[in-house]
Chains A and B, each alone.
Chain A
Amino acid sequence: MSDATLVLILMTLGTFALKSAGPLVLGDRALPLRVQQLVDLLPAALLAALAIVSTVGDGRAIVLDARVVGLLVAGLALWRRAPFVVVVVAASAATALVRFAA
């Protein structure tokens, strides 16, 4: 079985447990404050890490290339409240331009 299939199976089971715990087991019992804080903050930590690592990470090497410009342009587009499509297209176009010019 390939790695991706194994990840798919593990995530399917785990995600279903997380999604259905409320409706099937917990009902509307409030989560403990500490758990609630953890739940609120976790995505920010992981998404920020993913944004940085997918931009400059290449295995164990840190590579600064045109993608850095792409990420900066994405940030600029988000700051200007651009919709998702514009953010992705602008980041890709900027990256392609820097590569073409280099």
Chain B
Amino acid sequence: MNDVDEAALKRAIHRQAASIVAAVAPFGIVFGAAAATAGLSLVQATGFSLLVFGGSSQFAAVEILGDGGSVASAAIAGLLLNVRSLAFGVIMAPALVGTWWQRAAMSQLMIDESTAVGAAQHERRWRRYGYLVAGVGVYVVWNVTTALGYVAFAGAGDLITQLGLDAAGPAAFLALLWPRLSSMPQRRTAIVGALIALTLIPFAPPGVPILASMFGVAAGRIGVRRVDEEPSS
């Protein structure tokens, strides 16, 4: 590959990463605001973004804590939403070459966005480059916007409800869910998961209905198993 092609490829990767990184900014602000509303300190809010670095999982944990849920239910619900990084890690592993410490450091950037940009490239070297560019970009923007959102909305109190900002969390969860609803197993899982949680609200401590929704996965798998078996029958 000559220099011109290489420069063009880099520009293409930068463009892909830039649009993804920009999309993260409003979500970071909503997370910062949610953390402030749930009663976290600024250090705790930014600690989540710096150390956990997984948008939907951070959001889930903060939502459950804010609703009075236990440490266990908040942490487990958060971790269940990060189980998918296990699959991302297997996809990206061949491209993330380096010493043990380098691989450990690169793993911290294992999120939907970095995996999407990395896995979209054809050569191993560019997969690593795309992963790192998108991962570092999202990391910086996510942390800055978390702090901004926190500072802007900490102590806003009544203003949060007056401006309807308490609907921003539900809207954000729906926005994260939406792109996943493209297949029937996913839709069934979402509907059954939501119904399980809704049914349990009056009977279980806060957070537990969210955890119990994981059994909605069974509804999604029924169809998948049937599809798997069709060719052999």
Contact = CB atoms under 8 A, between A and B. Distances in A.
Q: Do A and B come from one complex?
A: yes
Interface of A: 2-8, 10-12, 14-16, 18-24, 26-31, 36-62, 66-67, 70-71, 74-75, 78, 83-85, 87-88, 90-99
Q: Chain A interface secondary structure, helix, strand, loop or mixed?
A: helix
Contacts of B202: 60-62
Nearest to B215: A45
Interface string B187-210: 101111110111001111110011
Given A46-B81, A47-B180, A92-B167, A37 B103 contact: no
B194 A52 contact: yes
Given A11-B61, A16-B107, A27-B94, A41 B167 contact: no
Contact of B164 (A24, A43, A62, A99): A99
Given A19-B89, A23-B103, A36-B87, A48 B44 contact: no
Most buried by A among B77, B165, B194: B194
Given A23-B92, A84-B175, A18 B83 contact: yes
B171 A70 contact: yes
A70 B185 CA distance: 27
Nearest to A6: B71
A84 to B, nearest CB: 5
A87 B65 CA distance: 24
A45 B163 CA distance: 29
Contacts of A97: 164
Contact of B168 (A37, A40, A88): A88
Contact of B78 (A11, A52, A60, A78): A11
6 contacts: A40-B87, A49-B193, A52-B194, A54-B169, A66-B164, A74-B171
B11 interface: no
A22 B176 CA distance: 24
A96 B110 contact: no
Interface string B67-87: 110110011011111111111
A12 B107 CA distance: 13
B16 to A, nearest CB: 17
Contact of A92 (B70, B80, B171, B198): B171
A15 B171 contact: no
Interface string B93-110: 110100010011011101
A6 B56 CA distance: 18
A51 B87 CA distance: 24
